[in-house]
């Protein structure tokens, strides 16, 4: 077991080629090359375009991270890489690169879960996570309430979206409003000028009967349809659509349900800490509302700075550093990239 290990993290699950380096909980480098501009005109990430961009960016981004940290590969105690979930071809680039670096240097390799990394990144901002904690994990592909008993290995999903992820809903509604891709940050910005009580859009899975079967689950597809219908009706009547107000009212519906259910989960499980993680955790209204409601409930709320919420390599390095410190054995080198990796698997086991 090594305290304050130096770990490099490689992230290529979607459109960001991220390479981060940490020493213990200290962030030394966070290099990110994004192909988002190449996808914007398609209104979504094009997997082949993302894979090719990762290939081109991989080696220069690793070099940039090492330079920023003032280190060489020989200084590393571990290399962590996102093994899944994510886009298969994109993941393969990062996993292949990480294996090559590990083989060439003899530095131990950890294949880790992208979603656990979104939780672990909080340690870079706020130090060790008090366990157990509730993780509200909200990204472009997932919206889950996680029980984090042990970030090194015991993470259980209490609930999740049964249809669209929160980030996906932001991106789809942004498109309806004519805002660019990815829509989350644009809705966040527009909503600041809007009235969140302008329309009351539906709060999915919060009715009494849904709370029995889907207590900690989310549904955002009905909300997206409600926004689409509302916009259509306005246009049919020749009215202008007030973009800022619709953005604010939609964002309120999402943040209301996310915070309500995360706090309920914490209360009902007797847990005193909630962590926000994933791209949507960068949302300013989600952060404010979560802080307010957590304070009322006597719960501590933690979140990382916005840049660490969206995909990056530092989060993978943070999880890797935690695994090394906890004495978790490295992964066997032949592990595959797994596009549908189980959310409860923190890192790929060492097969004996
Ligand atoms: O975690 P992430 O970077 O990638 C995935 O793992 O999916 O999350 C990306 C998602 C996108 O849907 C994006 O629109 C959303 O996070 N997002 C936001 C904000 N910043 C990014 N959603 C709402 N408000 C934001 N400020
Ligand atoms: Zn992510």
* Order of all β-strands in the sheet with 16-23: 26-34, 16-23, 6-11, 78-84, 109-113
Nearest CA to ligand 1 atom 7: 140
Nearest CA to ligand 1 atom 2: 279
Note the pLDDT of residue 41.
85
Question: 227, 178 in Cβ contact below 8 A?
Answer: no
Position 352 pLDDT exceeds 60: no
- Ligand closest to Cα of 315 equals 2
C-alpha 295 to ligand 2 mean position (Å): 27
Please identify, by atom number, the ligand 1 atom nearest to the C-alpha of residue 114: 6
C-alpha 149 to ligand 1 mean position (Å): 25
How many Cβ atoms from other residues are within 10 Å of residue 180's Cβ?
Answer: 13
Position 351 pLDDT exceeds 60: no
Nearest CA to ligand 1 atom 13: 184
pLDDT in tens, 286-307: 999 999 999 999 999 999 999 9
pLDDT in tens, 223-257: 999 999 999 999 999 999 999 999 999 999 999 99
- 201-205: list long-range contacts, CB under 8 Å, 24+ apart: 201/226, 201/227, 201/230, 201/249, 201/250, 201/252, 201/253, 202/226, 202/253, 203/253, 203/256, 203/257, 203/260, 204/257, 205/162, 205/257
Question: 185, 40 in Cβ contact below 8 A?
Answer: no
Cα 248 to its chain centre, rounded Å, is 22
Cα 60 to its chain centre, rounded Å, is 24
Nearest CA to ligand 1 atom 22: 184
Q: What is the mean pLDDT of residues 151-178?
A: 97
C-alpha 139 to ligand 1 mean position (Å): 5
Ligand 1 pocket: which of 280, 303, 306, 311 to mutate (most atoms within 8 A of CB): 280
In sign, the C-alpha dihedral spanning 312, 189, 119, 221 is negative
Q: What is the mean pLDDT of residues 38-50?
A: 90
- Ligand closest to Cα of 251 equals 1
Question: 58, 17 in Cβ contact below 8 A?
Answer: yes
Position 149 pLDDT exceeds 70: yes
Q: Which of 271, 275, 305 is nearest to 290 (CA)?
A: 275
- What residues flank ligand 1, with Cβ below 6 Å? 14, 139-141, 167, 170-171, 182-185, 188, 278-280, 282-283, 310-311
pLDDT in tens, 1-17: 678 999 999 999 999 99
**Which pTM does this prediction carry?**
0.97
């Amino acid at each position: 077991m090594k305290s304050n290990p130096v770990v490099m993290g490689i992230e290529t699950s979607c459109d960001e080629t991220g390479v981060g380096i940490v020493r213990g909980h200290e962030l030394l480098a966070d290099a990110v090359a994004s192909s988002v501009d190449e996808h914007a005109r398609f209104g979504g990430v094009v997997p082949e375009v993302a894979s090719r961009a990762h290939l081109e960016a991989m080696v220069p981004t690793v070099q940039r991270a090492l330079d920023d940290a003032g280190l060489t590969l020989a200084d590393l105690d571990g290399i962590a890489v996102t093994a899944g979930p994510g886009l298969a071809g994109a993941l393969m680039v990062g996993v292949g690169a990480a294996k090559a670096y590990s083989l060439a240097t003899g530095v131990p390799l950890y294949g880790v879960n992208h979603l656990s990394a979104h939780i672990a990144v909080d340690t870079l901002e706020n130090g060790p996570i008090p366990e157990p904690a509730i993780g509200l994990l909200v990204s472009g592909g997932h919206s889950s309430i996680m029980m984090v008993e042990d970030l090194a290995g015991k993470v259980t999903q209490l609930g999740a979206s049964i249809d669209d992820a929160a980030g996906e809903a932001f991106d789809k509604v942004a498109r309806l409003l004519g805002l660019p891709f990815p829509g989350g940050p644009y809705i966040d910005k527009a909503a600041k000028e809007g009235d969140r009580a302008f329309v009351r859009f539906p709060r999915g899975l919060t009715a009494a009967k849904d709370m029995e079967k889907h207590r900690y689950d989310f549904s955002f597809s009905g909300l997206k349809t409600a926004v689409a219908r509302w916009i259509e009706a306005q246009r049919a009547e020749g009215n202008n659509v007030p973009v800022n107000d619709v953005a604010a009212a939609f964002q309120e519906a999402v943040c209301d349900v996310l915070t309500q259910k995360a706090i309920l989960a914490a209360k009902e499980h007797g847990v005193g800490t909630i962590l926000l993680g994933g791209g949507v955790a960068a949302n300013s209204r989600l952060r404010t509302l979560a802080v307010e409601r957590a304070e009322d409930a006597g719960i501590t709320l933690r979140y990382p700075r916005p840049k660490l919420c969206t995909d990056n390599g530092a989060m993978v390095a943070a999880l890797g550093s935690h695994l090394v410190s906890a004495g978790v054995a490295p992964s066997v080198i032949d592990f595959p990239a797994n596009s549908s990796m189980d959310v409860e698997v923190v890192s790929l086991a060492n097969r004996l």
